[in-house]
Structure 1
Amino acid sequence: MDGGDAYAGYFMAAGSFLALAATLRQGDHIRVTLILQRLHGKPRVWAEIFCLAVATLLTAYFTYYAGKLAYDSYIYHDISQNTDATPLWIPQLSMAVGLFGLFVAFAEEFVYVLRTRRLPREESGEMARTE
C-alpha cells in the first residue's frame, strides 16, 4: 500500500497524543519528584500547585498552537509529501485534540489541588491529605 508507513506514523502520533490525558489521570506520567519528595506539608502543596499551574499554562500554549497548525494546514490545503498525499490537518487534528484533553486534565487537577489542598499519592491512585 502506498503511504502505509506514513499512515503508521500518523496513527502512532494520534495514539500517543490521545492517550496523554488518560495517563495523567491514572498517574502514569513520568514526573520529576526529586525536589517534591523532599518537601512535606504546606511547602509541598504549594510546590505542587506551582508545578500544576505551569503545566496547565504550558499545555494551553501548546494546545493553541497545535490547533493553529491544524487550522493553517486546512486553510492552505497542505498535504503530505509522501505518495499518500493526505491532507495534513487530519493527523494534526489528533495532536490538537489530545493536547486539549491534557490541558483539561491538568486544569482539573490544578483546581482540585488548589481547592482541597490534597495531593495524589505516587504509590497508589488514592489522594493523600497533607497539612
Structure 2
Amino acid sequence: MESTGTQQDILRGVIDRWKAAVDAHEPQQVAACFTEDAIFQGLHPYSVGRSGVAQYYDSQPLGLKADYEVLETRELADEVLLGYLGVDFSFVDRPTISVNIGIILKRVDSEWFISHYQVSRLP
C-alpha cells in the first residue's frame, strides 16, 4: 500500500516528539515515545523496553540534534505503520552522522508509539 498523507502525519507526529526530546537531551521523554516492549537498535547493542532507550539517549552528548526526512511510509496492518527515515545527528564537537532509521509504529489506545527502531549507518 502506498504512503498517504495521513500515514505521514502520524509518523511526523511521533518523530517530532522524539526529535524534540532528543534535541533537549531528555532521555525519559525520548523513551516515552516507545512502547513498553520496544525493540531498540541504535549504534550500540540492542535493548528491549523503555529503560534501554532512556539509557542509550542519556549516554549521548549534550548538544546532540536530530534532523530528519521521511523517505517512506507503509501501512503494515490496522494500527501498525512502517516508517523509513533519513536522519542527520549533529554534534557540537564532531562531524554529523547520517543514518537511515526504520521504525514500526503501533497504536496503543489512542496514541502512536515506536515499537521497533533500527539504525543503519551510511558509509
Structure 2 length as normaliser, TM-score?
A: 0.28
Higher helix share: 1
Larger RCO (CA within 8 A; separation ≥ 6): 1
Q: Which has the larger radius of gyration?
A: 1
